[in-house]
Amino acid sequence: MGEPMKIRAQMKGDVAEVRVLMSHPMETGMRKDNDGKTIPAHFIQTMTVSLNGKPVVSGQLNTSVSRNPVFGFKIKGAKAGDKISVTWKDNKGDTRTDEAAIA
């Protein structure tokens, strides 16, 4: 499990603008270390974003996403104080869930 995600969620009118920074190495499996050995693939495969426990965004990622990816999206129907929860799972079976309240 990686470091906690940084989740920023703020109301802008009637829409919540959410930005998420995920701490993850996102190795492609194509790079080599200093000894010439291939670094094994290690990347986030799925992510789900929930609003008050109800999924609102889900997606699949792959090796083409950079290290420590940042995602941004907008959610209609949210209000200040609602809980945003983000969960990811990687190709090694590790998972992480973090949440934040909408400001």
pLDDT tens sequence across 42-51: 999 999 999 9
How much is the pLDDT for 1?
Answer: 64
Q: How far is CA 103 from the centre of its chain?
A: 19
Round to whole Å and give the CA distance between 86 and 84: 7
Judged against a pLDDT cut of 90, whether residue 64 lies above it is answered with: no
pLDDT tens sequence across 76-102: 999 999 999 999 999 999 999 999 999
pLDDT tens sequence across 16-46: 999 999 999 999 999 999 999 999 999 999 9
Write down the domain spans for the chain.
6-101
Round to whole Å and give the CA distance between 45 and 65: 10
CATH superfamily of 6-101: Immunoglobulins (2.60.40.10)
pTM of the model: 0.92
